Amino acid sequence: MIKNYSKIQTKVRAKKDKKILSDLYAKTAEKATLKKQVLDTVPDALKQYIYDCFMHQTILILVVENQLVASKIRYILPQLRVELQRQNEFKMLRKIRLQIKVSHFKEDKDVNTEANSQYSKPQYSSTSSSLLNEFAESIGDQELQGALIKLAKHVKET
């Protein structure tokens, strides 16, 4: 009886997964169609700088590469909106917003590399170090005094 129950559960899960996947495929196809329609109305020189677009209610949001591209597209927005509203899919379009693509670093920088290690520890001359020590002795705050004494220990080797 338990075996039959698990088989039934598997079939029910498979039907749910199939529904979810078909919905996802439909949304992906709809988004690809939307992007193609938008790119068909944008001038050829700017097409390569539009990464993505999507509709939110009556607002079309274009994700562009940088501020320069955004300013060029902003210049043609009224004309672009009129052209898109001529198509049936964009009859309800009221506004076009621009969003700048957030760029991410391809690699995380290693903090402990030799190039970065010279910036991780400050180095002071012996004169600066002695001034920091004198100043630390004159301060009543123990935490600040301890921090200044630690800084004073980083003397440049000459």
Average pLDDT by consecutive 10-residue portion of the chain (158 residues)? 66 75 83 90 91 90 91 92 90 92 60 52 78 83 84 77
Q: Is residue 112 part of a domain?
A: no
Q: State the pLDDT at residue 95.
A: 93
Q: State the pLDDT at residue 80.
A: 92
Range of the domain at 64: 11-100
Residues 95 and 125 in one domain: no
Q: Is residue 66 part of a domain?
A: yes
Q: Is residue 130 part of a domain?
A: yes
Q: Which amino acid is located at 24 in the chain?
A: L
Residues 25 and 93 in one domain: yes
Residues present in the chain in total: 158
Sheet containing 59-64: order of strands: 50-56, 59-64, 95-100
Task: Give the residue ranges of DSSP H helices in 1-141.
Answer: 2-41, 44-47, 67-85, 114-120, 126-138
Residues 27 and 59 in one domain: yes
- Total of domains in the chain: 2
In 93-113, which positions are buried (b, 16+ CB within 10 angstroms) versus exposed (e)? Answer: beebebeeeeeeeeeeeeeee
Q: Is residue 2 part of a domain?
A: no
Q: State the pLDDT at residue 152.
A: 83
pTM (2 decimals)?
A: 0.54
For strand 95-100 and strand 50-56, is the pairing parallel, antiparallel, or unpaired?
A: unpaired
Q: Is residue 5 part of a domain?
A: no
What is the spatial distance between Cα 22 and Cα 43, in angstroms, rounded to a whole number?
34
Residues 134 and 95 in one domain: no
Q: State the pLDDT at residue 111.
A: 47
Residues 71 and 146 in one domain: no
Q: Is residue 131 part of a domain?
A: yes
Q: State the pLDDT at residue 40.
A: 92
Q: DSSP 3-state assignment of 55? A: strand
Q: State the pLDDT at residue 118.
A: 52
Q: State the pLDDT at residue 13.
A: 75
Task: Give the residue ranges of DSSP H helices in 86-154.
Answer: 114-120, 126-138, 142-152
Residues 137 and 63 in one domain: no
Residues 38 and 92 in one domain: yes
Q: State the pLDDT at residue 30.
A: 87
